Chain A
Amino acid sequence: MRVSLTAALSVALLSTPALAQDWQATLDAARGQTVYWNAWGGDERTNAFIAWVGQQTSARHGVSVQQVKLTDTAEAVTRVISEKAAGQADGGSVDMIWINGPNFLAMKDKGLLHGPFVATLPNAQYLDLSPASPNSVDFTVPVDGMESPWRLAKFVFNYDSARIDVPPATMAAFIDWAAANPGRFTHPDPSNFMGATFLKQALIELTPEVAVLQQPVTDANYEAATAPLWAWYEALKPNLWRAGKAFPENQSVQQQLMNDGEIDIAMSFDPASTAGDIAQGLLPDTARVFVPEGGTIGNVSFVAIPFNAANRDGAMVVANFLLAPETQAHMQNIEVLGSFSVLDPAKLDGDAQAAFSGLPTAPALPTLEALGPTLLEPHASWMTRLTAEWAQRYTR
């Protein structure tokens, strides 16, 4: 009841003339700006999509987009921190960041973000912004309108169906599978977010009481919650690739190992990436997606605007454009990016819904149903603690 009330309220608010005027003012101010969008640059399809966004906003609103390609989102965070350290309160070099989770928490905590701004975006009307929605909570941290969603991320495994008949059905089953296929599975280094997510995925399935993970970690609850995870990992590790002594730097390198035939199972935070990579010639045609029975961790990718962004209005125009139904439908197209939309289907009109249902499909592209339930990200402190303990145990 409260949920729909908030939603109705926000739609009503947005349709008031006062807000419409404000948005017009933003559009006017944004015209002619170039938005420096700091985004991880390791995926050519995402880079191409960002370039497409720039062409569109440039044609429609006179706002061009320049992608600043990052190897790690923390680079942009560090950049804003150094600007603040140098006392640069406006005219900053970062206009918009593709962000979520710990990096968002760090920037929000340190007062490095502009906002709240999400409610002022006209296209926010298509979002489910209820307090429990994945759009409102990022790694259990309330978003508070400081970052705007743009694509869905859901943890999935992929495997080469030419080499494997039946992939493991649960995280627990990975032990037996690895024992039968030693050296054919690995995960990225946990200092990388994909490696950390793999540990969290296992933790959620193995921990005795899942609800604890939504609270900040304490010395009291940590031991009991993680003991089964470490027991599981100890059993798995000897049969990992390179006997668990070396790990790929990130999921792209891991993907490459699968393409090279060194491993049979890899992982991704994008259910469509397998189909996309097959189309790009980066994976064998026989690659397929699978998820463990209990479902997998999901989260939302956001964009945020630093407090000192030089082209703040332009950044808001781009954030708004990302939420337009036709943008989201274009993005979900497997031939473009294949990322699932963040919009609430219930809030879309008939035309927009048709645009989504008419999208092409591919053999390696899972249906939403096949992806199973979405598990909530644990509180960010769990990830810090997990990766620290992993390093403590295995980095000698």
Chain B
Amino acid sequence: MSLDLVDLAVRLPPGAPLFPPLTLSVAAGQVTTVMGPSGVGKSTLLDAIAGLLAPTFALSGHINLNGVDIRPLPAEARRIGLMFQDPVLFPHLSVGDNLAFGLTPKIKGRAARRDAVAVALASAGLSGLQDRDPASLSGGQRSRAALMRTLLADPAALLLDEPFSKLDVALRDEMRRFTFLHVRERAIPALLVTHDPEDAAATSGPVVRLPAPQPPR
């Protein structure tokens, strides 16, 4: 399993590309870090891979997941999980239902689905919080719930958009370990976007640096 970007470039017509054409390959279980100053288009890059790019952007190059070009697919069919700076739990659903929302449809039957959610909650240290309002969780709990929700969707690759930047220092380390552990366990490629060198260091994977943009945004 691998995620391959070939000559990938994004521009906002009629402007120049946000960053030079990007080619990289992320292997299964590996976390590759893309670093760069703010405004360079890191989040846009992730949007492009996830299929969430606004149509005003023009995209060139290829995005291959396990050798298949996923560019024609809509976001929901790409099987690419996305983690944001904030956990973005659905405010109207309980913690358990948030996870159930993400749980892949391959798991069938009420009991089986409930068990899968319970197992995921337990592995994130959230046992017993099934029926809680997401707003009542602590920051760390929310982040872990969000990651479990993403993983339950059975993604073929994971994109991480500075997911640790809003956590306080003590939590940040714990969450990094927790996240990268799961990436390795699942053996999926993961792409991390950040401007925090400690994030990059913690991945023990390759680091790609995007240069500062030529024309200011």
Direct A–B contact present (CB less than 8 angstroms)? no
